[in-house]
Structure formats: structure tokens, C-alpha cells
Amino acid sequence: MATGLGGTKELSLPMFTALRRFSILMTMIGERFVLGIKASWPVQVSVLAMVGGALLAAADDVTFSWSGYTLVLLNDGFTAANGVYMKKKLDSKELGKYGLMYYNALFMIIPAGIVAWCTGDLERSAAYPNWSDMLFFTQFLMSCVMGFVLSYSVMLCTQHNSALTTTIIGCLKNIFVTYLGMIIGGDYVYSWLNFVGLNISVLASLGYTYVTFKRKPASYLLLNEANSKVDTV
């Protein structure tokens, strides 16, 4: 959360979303070494195309920032590690998805509280004058509920698919952020090489989605065929 917000502050939205695609490559590598899952060649090609497009865009990024790039790449690593180990724990059936969500939130209370105290956010939030405003309070509670819905949805997606699929689906929403950020962000500086790189990365994301979900019907047919054989026996 901290590295993600820091990277967003330092970089333009299009470049931030492009560099976030490195989390996909890191997730694929993590699945290979931690979970023993080797991605198919079409998946590997689409992932490398996404990363290649991001590198092409970064090669002509006139708003380059060492701190911004470092924060985003750290965020990519944390995202990949979180997805891979979440998948590992979900497959082991030790905690279950509700237990995993509970302990994730529980263990984050202390470090999040320390960060909030060190940055002065605790004092500022306690002194916020609109806590008694029902409209603000309602919206605040809604954001808390939607945070839970988001976490639960991510966990379900990881459980039924893979950590790599969850990561890429998260990046797909950034397609809109990429193009809207060019218009409304105000900090994007156009260059043809940067623009081409961003578009290659976006198209590769769509290609991965097609390759991944194209295989689903075949797997479902095999599963149904196996079930029918079991029923016959």
C-alpha cells in the first residue's frame, strides 16, 4: 500500500500502470519456483510482450524518476509475493479463505498503526472535524465494506484460477487508467516511442486474457467427461 501510493505520486498514471505489469512477470516466476507451475508458451509470450512494451515506454519516459520507479518495482515484488503465497496457503487448506483474510488483517494492525503514528496521520484523523457528518461517515463505512469485497474477490479469483490470472485481471482495469491518465492526469508527456510501448503492453494484456480463458471450455469438457465416467461406474 505504501509503495503503491508513493509510486502513484511520483509518476504519471500511464507510466505507473505500465510499470505495474512487471508484477505479472514476477508472479509467473514466483509460481514457477514456489508453486511448481510452469506457464504455457502462449502465456509466457504474452507476459514478455507486456513487459517489453513497458520497457519500451520507459526508454522514452521524459518524466523519469528514480524514486518513482523504485517504489513501483518494489510494489510489483510485494504484489507478486502476496499472490503466490496466498495461492499456496489456499491450496493447502490449512486456514481457508476466511482465516487467511482474518490473519492478514490482524497482523497488519501493528505495522499500519506504527506508520500512521510516525507520519502523523493518527493525530490528523482524530482531529478531523467531519466525523459527525452523516454523509461523510456513510461514505467512509461504504469504503470499508468495499475494501472487504475487493479483498474477498481477489482471494476467490486466486483460489479458482491462479495467482498469475489474478494479477493480470488486476492490470486489465488499468487499461482505462492508462488512456484516461493521458487526458485527465495532467502529468503525461507524449512521445511516439512511449505511446507505442504503452499500447503494446495493453494489447499483450488483452492477448493473455484471450489465451487464458480460451482454454477454459476444453478443461470443463474434460471435467464433465470424467464426471460422467465416474457416474457410469
| Three-state SS annotation for the chain | CHHHHHHHHHCCHHHHHHHCCHHHHHHHHHHHHHHCCCCCHHHHHHHHHHHHHHHHHHHCCCCCCHHHHHHHHHHHHHHHHHHHHHHHHHHHCCCHHHHHHHHHHHHHHHHHHHHHHHHCHHHHHHCCCCCCCHHHHHHHHHHHHHHHHHHHHHHHHHHHCCHHHHHHHHHHCHHHHHHHHHHHCCCCCCCHHHHHHHHHHHHHHHHHHHHHHHCHHHHHHHHHHHHHHHHHC
Residue 10 and residue 67 in contact, taking contact as beta carbons nearer than 8 Å: yes
pLDDT at 228: 42
Nearest to 16 by CA among 85, 82, 67: 67
pLDDT at 182: 66
pLDDT at 207: 78
Residues of the chain with pLDDT under 70: 14, 60-63, 91-94, 168, 170-191, 212-233
Model confidence, pTM: 0.67
pLDDT at 108: 85
Residue 31 and residue 164 in contact, taking contact as beta carbons nearer than 8 Å: yes
pLDDT at 218: 46
pLDDT at 145: 92
pLDDT at 101: 81
Three cell numbers written together for 176: 482505462
Q: Which residue has the cell 494492525?
A: 109
| Residue 128, phi then psi, degrees to nearest 5 | -65, 125
Please give the mean pLDDT across all residues of the chain: 77
The CA distance from 207 to 189, in Å, is 27
pLDDT at 141: 94
The CA distance from 48 to 201, in Å, is 9
Three cell numbers written together for 142: 461504504
